[in-house]
Chain A
Amino acid sequence: MQKYVMRRLLLAVPVLLLSSLIVFSLMRVMPGDALIALMGESGNVGQKELAKLRKDLGLDRPYYEQYLLWLWQMVSLNPGDSIFTNEPIPVSLKKAIPVTVELATLAMIIGIAIAVPVGVLSATRQDKPSDYVGRVVAVSGLSIPDFWLGTLVITFAAIWVHWIPPIGYVSLWDSPWRNLQQFLLPAAVLGFRLSAATMRMTRSTVLETLREDYVRTAWAKGLAGRIVVYKHALKNALIPVVTIIGGQLGVLLAGTVVVEQIFALPGMGRLTVEAILYRDYPVVQTNVMLVAATLVTLNLLVDLTYAWLDPRIRYQ
């Protein structure tokens, strides 16, 4: 197991290095350079000032030097300052990361809480009205854009219930109730989207497992339906479900970008979109790299949970 983890970690290094190279190259493909794109378009900045700024930011150095310097900054957890707000990037991240982590965690909990019971219900009542309802909900979740659902939820909450989520982010530690009010709707919107694929997979794997011999034996022994489904069938059916949840992590991180924008939550997604709109390339490249590293790490964790779910799986 330890060897497997080490090997996976070692394999993640070249992938992340290549990702960093892609992100860095992308930012340098910009016509002219990042600074001209940012400031030169206004026409108010003289050539001398541009040259000085370029020198200060190290943009006058050869590309390989810029890349190595940026890599070093990333490894030493000091990726520089935003060229738009001048705020050190770690300071911005320190404020934004907890927001996104809280939103993503809540969304994941809500998503699984919807997906697994509905998936199991659909499977155990195959081709009955509850199964059709579950399937329609799942297909809708895959097709309804989260930005539309978010907009509708805010609109109808305001029109029908005369309630809008409190404005101005409050941390969980300062005011848990106010924080929950702010996060519940966006997490529900994101969770609904996440639940769709998981629900479909839960239904099909539980259906397959319910036809296995050992489940038939459990029924024949006279065990209660709940024990057969939840204790015997569900645990074995969960491995492909975990794979799907793992595959949803990218969707989850991308979803936070949109949902944070709609619900005005100052998280990583909003920070990234604002940096993109202002062409603040140090923030963009740092955030994108951070998201990539998070995704690679989370995927490794998902792989490791397989062994916990199914002890027959042994990592070599």
Chain B
Amino acid sequence: MATVPVRVATFEEPSASVHRLQALWVTMKRKPLGAVSAALLAVIVLTAIFAEVLAPYDPLETHPEIRLSAPSWAHPFGTDDIGRDVLSRIIYGSRISLWVGLLAVGIGTAAGMVIGLLCGYCEGRLDLIAQRFMDAIQAIPGLVLALAIVSVLKPSTTNAMLAIAIVIIPGNSRIVRGAVLTAKQNRYVEAAQALGCRHPRIITSHILPNVTAPILVIASIWLGNAILIEATLSFLGVGTQPPTPSWGLMLSSTGRAFMEQAPWLAIFPGLAISLAVLGFNLFGDTLRDAWDPKLRRQG
């Protein structure tokens, strides 16, 4: 009896990932909005990777003689108050948004996963203390906490990213903890314990593969939020600092100051943020429908 569950776990690992991709494909075919969001994300990611090739001008190069020029063939999104090309700045800005989003979500998800795995697996006092600590962090609204953290660390892109990662940890740890508590009830985990498997091996080989779906779904949903928080922090002046092109910063520095004379300075960066967040939100929804519909109510 003891060997069967272990064998099941070993066989499930490769088939689970194939099954997930198939489930995602089926969901995308059923809900074309999911495919549209995937295409939108592909465009954003490719824009960020090939920014040097795609951007028509240097994003930092100034041309005061053409300051506040309206959109034209030469400058499709117009120019800002010191003659920099807005399209080039938006293209380079996608790098900052994606970089901060991916790293913040990566760090926040990894830390949340470790805490959730340990709390769910060990339970007892460690779980009680860690979860109260998570409650305490969650009692502070994410943006307010991120602002407080950045104020301590000094405004910069890296510190904004760290602040967002810290904001992400509690929610992720809760979801992973819940998934671990459920996975722990499975017979194959009991069998692995009875066989004398060490705890780290049980966690990494038997429990972790069963909680990756909710982790990936939540991470994809958080990516949109992370981009939004970075843009908000930059807009408030505590995120990315000038002259680095960042969508939120472009809106606050020139977008607001010249909004009546040059509305394109406010329209295009905001549109870029909205499309990126929309893409991640819709893709996150698709992943959730495909992999973990139970999360619908929690998400």
User: Which residues in A have some Cβ–Cβ distance to B below 8 Å?
Assistant: 14-19, 21-23, 26-27, 29-30, 139-140, 142-145, 147-148, 151-152, 154-155, 158-159, 204, 240, 250-251, 253-254, 257-258, 261-262, 272-273, 276-277, 279, 284, 288, 291-292, 295-296
Contact = CB atoms under 8 A, between A and B. Distances in A.
Nearest to B280: A143
Contacts of B296: 204
B224 A143 contact: yes
Contacts of B236: 257-258, 261, 273
22 contacts: A15-B132, A15-B136, A16-B136, A16-B139, A22-B136, A22-B137, A139-B281, A143-B224, A144-B277, A145-B270, A145-B277, A148-B274, A151-B251, A159-B260, A251-B141, A254-B143, A257-B143, A258-B235, A273-B236, A276-B150, A295-B140, A296-B139
A206 B281 CA distance: 22
A150 to B, nearest CB: 9
B152 A29 contact: yes
A245 to B, nearest CB: 14
Could you tell me the dominant secondary structure of chain A's interface residues? Answer: helix
A22 B148 CA distance: 11
B260 A158 contact: yes
Contact of A23 (B135, B148, B235, B277): B148
Interface string B143-177: 11101111110000000000000000000000000
B169 to A, nearest CB: 12
Contact of B259 (A29, A139, A154, A253): A154
A148 B147 contact: no
B278 interface: yes
Contact of A257 (B147, B251, B252, B297): B147
Nearest to A144: B274
Given A14-B132, A145-B232, A292-B139, A151 B270 contact: yes
Given A139-B282, A276-B151, A284-B148, A19 B274 contact: no
A250 B139 CA distance: 8
Contacts of B238: 276-277
A194 to B, nearest CB: 13
Interface string B226-240: 001001100111100
Contacts of B228: 145
Contacts of B274: 140, 143-145, 148
A139 B278 CA distance: 7
Instruction: Give chain B's interface residue range (CB within 8 Å of chain A).
Output: 35 or more
Contacts of A251: 141
Contacts of B150: 276
B256 to A, nearest CB: 6
Contacts of B224: 143
Contacts of A253: 141, 144
B89 to A, nearest CB: 16
A26 B228 CA distance: 23
A277 B241 CA distance: 13
A30 B236 CA distance: 20
A84 to B, nearest CB: 13
B267 interface: yes
A291 B132 contact: no
B278 A140 contact: yes
Given A29-B152, A145-B228, A273-B236, A288 B260 contact: no
Given A151-B266, A258-B232, A26 B147 contact: no
B150, B248, B274, B296 — which one has the most chain A CB atoms within 10 A of its CB? B274
B297 to A, nearest CB: 7
A30 B228 CA distance: 26
A159 B267 CA distance: 14
Contact of B152 (A26, A152, A273): A26
Contact of A254 (B142, B151, B252): B142
B139 A151 contact: no
B137, B152, B238 — which one has the most chain A CB atoms within 10 A of its CB? B152
Given A143-B277, A258-B232, A291 B144 contact: yes
